[in-house]
Structure 1
């Protein structure tokens, strides 16, 4: 599984995360079945998203969301053709500059509804955020998920960096 290490500055981009949403059609559907729709939605929301493939051949999006590097992993894809994916997982990895314990991770997850945080043996911190899209979700719903993930990255970044 390919993931990116977030060492981005805490400064958020100047564009409001949902500002581009008004410019997009309210009928736009975002779905893991069409990975390009996910990348396009992120770009339309003012973020950077580049399509790639993971080590298994499944789609992968490398993204810059509010100054943080993240990867969007695709799950429940066809094992042979690597298409027809049903869900996404946003992934952000941090190499902390200050102590972040297992107790800190539990506290963070209690206060951050959809986030899952784990610590590696070398103290690296990984946050994941799952989104089931099935055949499609509305752009506004996707935008809300991205906004919440960005906010969680901001909070976790504050907790792990000086």
Structure 2
């Protein structure tokens, strides 16, 4: 299970709300980063995809948390891209930018690098579906039959 899935499952559970309620007000008031992280959690809970990016950018994170928040933001953007990839065959540039938390030019460049194209007539992005890779497992009985067949041909 990915860290992303664990975070989302926790944030979208009642446990997150109970944790928030159990944090003393004095900590919430003296530690503004706690409140800022909670805002991100609320946006995740509400599936406000653009709001998550706004909450991340809307706070001046301390040096200690900047790396963690930047890593989360990058992972969140990648997950949103995967969501778009699986859910859409075409999507507007504006909607793509909202999901990815970018301006329209940056979002367009991001998806074009992933092989998507822009329909010049409609100005819609055409999603390039990734090929589904299925891993075939070798059945030992099939290998045994093939070995016996080759052996039979040689003798």
Q: Same fold (TM over 0.5)?
A: no
Higher helix share: 2
Q: Tell which structure's C-alpha radius of gyration is larger.
A: 2
Q: Which has the higher contact order (CA 8 A, sep 6+)?
A: 1
Q: Please, what TM-score do these two structures have when normalized by structure 1?
A: 0.27
